[in-house]
Amino acid sequence: MISKEYLDSVRQQLDANDEKYVIECSSKNQISQYEALVKSYLPEAYWGRVEYKVKRMGFKLPKIIDQRSVTRMLKQLNLSCSTGIRNYAIIMMLYRAGLRVQEVCNLSLSDVNFDTGLIYLQQAKGKKDRYVPMDDDIIRSSQAWIAIRPESDYFFSTLEGGQLDQRYIREVCYRISKKAGVFIQDGTEKKPVSPHKLRHTCFSELLREGTCNIREIQELAGHSSISTTQIYTHIVLNDIQNKIKKRKGITE
């Protein structure tokens, strides 16, 4: 966020010359925030001399894991206890439906409809509603949780019926990831698998398998822009490139 000291320095530079001052922002939303701050602090005479530009961010492909790694993670959960059954169903929701962790936390009992096979996500990111289909893995694991679930306003709850916290779900992912020896390679670092990495893995698999096209994945993911979804096409292109590299050559 822009500080008072920063705005003071902007004013000093505008006073020192006739050139415009450019403020770099990370997004269009941030442009609106910064413009409002400038207008609340600087006199109107300065407003037209301040420009806002979205800076180019470095491009990083989403990190994913394979199905065998997910299976190893799931095997770390104790299915003889209530929390293990619940957490197994949560991991399935993250991995097989591609839900965001807060979407999982916010689900109510009526949002998960086994008759239609759909999960109803209300007022998710961007204040948008959407439906996400459930496969057999999600249905089986969710029904196992339903059978022992306490009374609660939330589909996934604490054993006392309260709402689960995002941090708890992240810690579950980190814990079973470490126990399974499954890590994400991020540069020179090895990091445990986060819930969002399971979401990336879900959409990458759907595209790679040919189960869904890019527009369908955009709908499932709840992306407002197709450009956000296109990160998954780069992963598939990497797979194609690796296959082409392994082709037998016609020369020695």
Q: Which pair of structure tokens corresponds to residue 27? A: 């997004």
Q: 153-160: long-range contacts at Cβ-Cβ below 8 A with a sequence spacing of 24 or more?
A: 153/108, 153/109, 154/105, 154/106, 154/107, 154/108, 154/109, 155/107, 155/108, 155/109, 155/111, 155/112, 156/86, 156/89, 156/90, 156/104, 156/105, 156/107, 159/82, 159/83
Same domain, 79 and 22: no
Which residue range forms the structural domain that includes residue 83?
67-239
Does residue 107 lie in a domain region?
Answer: yes
Residue 5 amino acid letter: E
The count of domains in the chain is 2
Same domain, 72 and 93: yes
Spot the catalytic one: 86, 96, 100, 149: 100
Same domain, 85 and 24: no
Least Cα distance to 105 among 160, 157, 142, 151 occurs for 157
Neighbouring-strand partners of residue 242: none
Asked if residues 201 and 64 have their Cβ atoms less than 8 Å apart, the reply is yes
Distance CA 97, CA 90 (A): 10
Does residue 26 lie in a domain region?
Answer: yes
Same domain, 73 and 134: yes
pLDDT at 12: 81
| CATH number of domain containing 86 | 1.10.443.10
pLDDT at 1: 64
Spot the catalytic one: 11, 49, 72, 125: 125
For helices 195-209 and 67-74, the axis angle rounded to 10 degrees is: 140
Spot the catalytic one: 34, 95, 154, 232: 232
Spot the catalytic one: 11, 175, 178, 196: 196
Same domain, 22 and 124: no
Distance CA 108, CA 164 (A): 12
Spot the catalytic one: 96, 149, 197, 223: 223
Does residue 249 lie in a domain region?
Answer: no
Confirm whether 232 is a catalytic residue.
Answer: yes
- pLDDT tens digit at each of 252 positions of the chain: 677 888 888 888 787 777 788 888 878 888 888 899 889 989 988 898 898 888 766 667 788 999 999 999 999 999 999 999 999 999 999 999 999 999 999 999 999 999 999 999 998 776 789 999 999 999 999 999 999 999 999 999 999 999 999 999 999 999 999 999 999 998 888 999 999 999 999 999 999 888 999 899 999 999 888 878 888 887 766 666 677 777 777 775
Confirm whether 100 is a catalytic residue.
Answer: yes
Asked if residues 82 and 191 have their Cβ atoms less than 8 Å apart, the reply is no
Confirm whether 196 is a catalytic residue.
Answer: yes
Distance CA 81, CA 93 (A): 19
Domain final position from 31, 54, 77: 54
Does residue 232 lie in a domain region?
Answer: yes
Spot the catalytic one: 86, 96, 197, 199: 199
SS3 content of the chain, % helix, strand, coil (to 5): 55, 15, 35
Same domain, 46 and 158: no
Does residue 60 lie in a domain region?
Answer: no
Does residue 1 lie in a domain region?
Answer: no
Does residue 246 lie in a domain region?
Answer: no
Confirm whether 63 is a catalytic residue.
Answer: no
Same domain, 123 and 172: yes
The values of phi and psi at residue 202, to 5°, are -55, -55
> What single DSSP character describes residue 73?
H
Beta strands in 98-209 (DSSP E): 112-113, 118-124, 128-133, 183-186, 189-192
